[in-house]
Amino acid sequence: MEKLLKDKVKEEQPRLSSLFEKVLLKNKLTHAYLMESKEIESAYVFSLWLAQSIFCEETENHLPCGLCNNCQRIVSQDFPDVTTIEPDGQTIKVDQIRDIKQTFIRSGMESRKKALIIKNAEKMTVSAANSLLKFIEEPDGMMHIFFLTNNSNRILSTIQSRCQQIYLHPTSKSALLAEVSKESSLTKKQVELIVELSESKKKAVELSSDEWFNSARETVSKWFQYLDKKNALAFIFVQQHLVKLGKDKEQQFLILDILLNMYRLELKEQVALDSFSKERYNNAIEVIITARKKLEANVSFQNVCEQLVWQVLY
Ligand SMILES: [Zn+2]
């Protein structure tokens, strides 16, 4: 027998699935998600599991059973209220979205709950994306939409800012996380950070015993606290500590990557549970990614960091 979706997501995305179990238990599933993953099929499995939670007939505390008729039909993509749209050739066209809307109307399904999953959402044409904007701006409580992409920077910012953004790390990293945790005396959060920044076990082990990295983690963590609390000391901190810490380009990029992952690791859960502003979170992530691009374009590290503080704080 094939593995149940709920077991598959637990195995592939242990951290994210336990986070979403909490979200579902509190009945806090929101109407629009933007899911970024380098492995689009892994994001697809995850979105189907969330779709099951909406339609499951035997749900317990909003968690899908995986076994009822609806759950099974969703997995085999034979359930009319869960629709998947994929690129038709190079793009997802506005006609594809219109067709779906028409189907909903014709079959009287507009009065029922439904889920729309858009695979490779970065391939939506601007008009296709715009045709969905109205819906995500004025949710009707009936439709849930999941945009899946391998690169959320290529999604229209109007869509980005209106969705809750989720980052799924590659499934290989889940295995790496389990392996490194077993052999390390670091805290769970510290191991998670290292794994996010490593491609292999060798690299993860190297990082965990690297003196520069360990002091960088502590320094960036203080910077993150200031930024998170909108404390203006974050500004002075750049010159006092970060400039000395990031001596070359490689270290400077790593500092920004540490910060990015601290945001993701520390705040994603709070955002999903509605205890941290989604706008503030999305804005901070976007600002850090932009800072990285500026550094690539040879803006000085100090300027990049100071602009980052300015944009996060004001
Ligand atoms: Zn079920």
- The pLDDT tens digits along the chain (314 residues) read 578 899 999 888 888 898 999 999 999 999 999 999 989 999 999 999 999 999 999 988 899 999 999 999 999 999 989 999 999 999 999 999 998 888 777 766 656 889 999 999 999 999 999 999 888 888 877 889 999 999 988 999 889 888 998 988 887 777 888 888 888 788 888 898 998 898 788 888 889 889 999 999 999 999 999 999 999 999 999 999 999 999 999 999 999 999 999 998 888 878 888 888 888 888 899 999 999 999 999 999 999 999 999 999 98
The residue to which tokens 């009065």 are assigned:
111
Query: Which tokens hold the place of 228?
Result: 């998170």
Measure 56 CA to ligand 1 centroid, in angstroms.
4
Question: What pLDDT was estimated at residue 298?
Answer: 95
Q: How many CA atoms lie within 13 A of 109 on its CB side?
A: 17
Report the separation in Å between the CA atom of 77 and the middle of ligand 1, taken as the mean of its atom positions: 14
Q: Which residues have a Cβ under 8 Å from the Cβ of 244 and sit 6 or more positions away?
A: none
Q: Which pLDDT value is given to residue 291?
A: 97
- Predicted pLDDT of residue 282: 86
Please name the residue that has the structure tokens 């038709």: 88
**How high is the pLDDT of residue 110?**
58
CA of residue 166 to ligand 1 center, whole Å: 24
For residue 208, report the phi and psi dihedrals to the nearest 5 degrees: -65, -20
Question: Ligand 1 centre and the CA of 53: distance in Å?
Answer: 7
Q: How far is the CA of 48 from the centre of ligand 1 (A)?
A: 12
Distance, first Cα to last Cα, the chain:
54
Tell how far the Cα of 149 is from the centroid of ligand 1, in angstroms: 27
* DSSP summary character for residue 18: H
> How many A from CA of 72 to the centre of ligand 1?
7
Calculate Rg over the CA atoms of the chain. 21
pLDDT score recorded for residue 257: 96
Please tell me the distance between residue 69's alpha carbon and the centre of ligand 1 in angstroms. 7
Question: If DSSP states are collapsed to H, E and C, what string results for 132-168?
Answer: HHHHHHCCCCCEEEEEEECCHHHCCHHHHHHCEEEEE
pLDDT of residue 111: 61
